[in-house]
Chains A and B, each alone.
Chain A
Amino acid sequence: MIEVLASILILAGAGLALIAAIGLQRFGDVFARMHVATKPASLGMALALTGAVLAMAGVGHTTKLILVILFQYLTAPISAHLIGRATFRAGTEMHPDTNFDELASRIKPHPRQSN
């Protein structure tokens, strides 16, 4: 029974990772690709690692896996925010279908950047 549950969680995590990779190919813009790559990253990893927790017995294994899940949930938003902010301030052009850009009047390009 617990093996069935672990299998379902592992398959869901792997499927989310596959969806993220397909989105990296299909979307036409750094920001859209970031949107599709960062959201399944934390959820898919949490699902797959919970499946691994169920499949492996032992307190030490469970502690390490939960540590990785916690660390991913702490750092994934930070790194996504950093790379998105750096990309925006570097003046990357957006996809032609982008309708509006609310940050354009608020965030200036980096002063040290050579154009």
Chain B
Amino acid sequence: MLQVSTTIALAALSIAAALCIVRMARGGSLPDRVVALDSLLVIVVIGLAVLAARTGESLYLDIMVVASLLGFTGTTLVSTFVERRGAR
């Protein structure tokens, strides 16, 4: 049961990550890429949770904590950069 549902969830998350990467590549402006990167990190954290639930491996949980911390720091840094230099 859990094997089937985590397989479907990982497939959906892969499609979502691909769509986020397409938005990062096409861009539009710098904030578009930042928003896409932010949601890509959220997808990575959800994927790690799904992998942890699938395998029962507790190493993924530590990586999840670090990834969610890094996502917030990166977005905050880039937002001050955007405010000063303009969105190009």
| A contacts, CB < 8 Å to B | 3-4, 6-8, 10-11, 13-15, 17-18, 20-22, 24-25, 30, 33-34, 37-38, 41, 44-45, 48-49, 51-52, 55-56, 58, 60-61, 64-65, 67-68, 71-72, 75, 78-79, 82-83, 85-87, 89-92, 110, 112-115
Contact = CB atoms under 8 A, between A and B. Distances in A.
A22 B29 contact: no
A30 B43 contact: no
Is the interface on chain B under 10, 10 to 19, 20 to 34, or 35 or more residues?
A: 35 or more
A11 B64 CA distance: 18
B79 A17 contact: no
A17 B48 CA distance: 13
Given A51-B49, A67-B65, A92 B84 contact: no
Top 5 nearest A-B pairs by Cβ distance?
A7-B5, A21-B16, A14-B9, A55-B53, A86-B83
A79 B46 contact: no
Interface of B: 1-2, 4-6, 8-10, 12-13, 15-17, 19-20, 22-23, 28-29, 31-32, 34-36, 38-39, 42-43, 45-46, 49-50, 52-54, 56, 58, 61-62, 64-65, 68-69, 71-72, 75-76, 78-80, 82-87
A112 B84 contact: yes
Contacts of B87: 30, 86-87, 90-92
A105 to B, nearest CB: 19
A33 B64 CA distance: 25
Nearest to B41: A41
A82 B76 contact: yes
Contacts of B42: 17, 20, 41, 44-45, 72
Contacts of B9: 10-11, 13-14, 48
Given A34-B31, A52-B49, A113-B83, 17 more contacts: A10-B6, A11-B5, A13-B9, A13-B49, A24-B36, A24-B39, A38-B39, A45-B46, A48-B49, A51-B53, A56-B53, A56-B56, A61-B61, A79-B76, A82-B79, A85-B83, A92-B31
